[in-house]
Amino acid sequence: MKLLVGFNNKIYPGVNEFKSIGTCKFINYNQQSILKYIASCDIFIPHLREPIDNKILKYAKKLRIIATPSTGKDHIDENELNKRNIKLITLFEDRKFLDKISSTAEMNWLLILSCIRNFRFLIDRIQKEKKWTNSDIRGYELQGKTIGIIGFGRLGKKIAKYAETFGMNVLVYDIKKIKHKKKYSFVTLNKLLESADIISMNVKLNPTSRQMISFEQVNKMKKGVIFVNTARGDTVSSRALIKGLNSGKIESIGIDVCNNEYSSSYLPNDPLITKSFTDKRIIVTPHAGGATHDAHNQVFKKLSDLIKINISNKKI
């Protein structure tokens, strides 16, 4: 088996797990350089900065498996894979394993804390302004506030537990019917938008969640709300959030995901990023939620195991 691995094994030593499957080529590719290697590989482990579509797959004559080290798969054209009889493996296949990884949930909580305590202002007060005053950049406590969690899957449940620990009231909205938990209030989306001091976006990207938060939903939000998104950029309208920020409807925004992310290592073309250059009320991180040494080592080992299972079961 020949494997093309989209990660440098010196930076990501965990990817050396794939050597137990076959001969590996480790390359931190872009769309041009991948064409040099994709034709000869049987298994492809992509990074998340390029779309895997017909432009690439038409050259992948031998490819039998794409194994992505992620739960999301919006960077991969599944219809094209099906046409070419290429098996797609994702981490979503093992929920018990995913429950053990908290990196993205912790990043989500970091953004919440950073927004409510005006962290960009606090850092710049020292690093740029060289001052020690803080009376004009005070934030708020989380205790007693109401958090609205949109999407009550693996990450939404972790966020709810963190919020409970911080003494917050928890509102939950999910499109699926979920067994009621007395300590959390399951409400309609409109009720959540109207009541939450902090809104946490934790849905999977699918046809029902795409652009789920647009101008209409922003208008229904409580004045002074904090909005955090670690799900996918396409679940929200960036322009709607900016309008809410400009009007005072939204107090601050924390995002780890953006629209138009899959463009190599270039900054995504998203108006929220552009506005963040001049507006400290917006905190943007580069889709780093799952990017910890702990998570990567576990993820690459699990992905290697899943590939081996598919091979042994002759699913390729």
What's the pTM value of the predicted model, to 2 decimals? 0.91
Q: Which two tokens stand for residue 159?
A: 């966020």
Angle, helix 103-116 to helix 154-165, in steps of 10 degrees: 50
Burial group, residue 84, by CB count within 10 angstroms (0-12, 13-18, 19+): middle
CA angle 26, 8, 229 (to 5 degrees): 120
In the block, residue with structure tokens 């109207």: 194
Beta bridge partners of 44: 4, 66
The percentage of the chain sitting over the pLDDT mark of 90, rounded to a whole number, equals: 85
Q: What share of the chain is helix, strand, coil (3-state, %, to 5)?
A: 40, 15, 45
10-residue averages of pLDDT along the chain (316 residues): 95 96 92 88 92 92 95 91 95 85 97 98 98 97 98 95 97 84 88 98 94 98 98 97 98 96 83 98 96 95 95 74
Q: Which two tokens stand for residue 74?
A: 């919006």
Predicted local confidence at residue 94, as pLDDT: 79
Render pLDDT for 227-283 as a digit per residue (tens, 0 to 9). 999 999 999 999 999 999 999 999 999 999 999 987 767 899 999 999 999 999 999
Identify whether the C-beta of residue 253 lies closer than 8 Å to the C-beta of residue 115: yes
Helix (H) or strand (E) holding 275: helix 271-276
Predicted local confidence at residue 181, as pLDDT: 65
Helix (H) or strand (E) holding 26: strand 23-26
What sign does the CA torsion over 74, 218, 163, 119 have?
Answer: positive
Predicted local confidence at residue 92, as pLDDT: 83
Q: Which two tokens stand for residue 81?
A: 């894979």
Predicted local confidence at residue 199, as pLDDT: 98
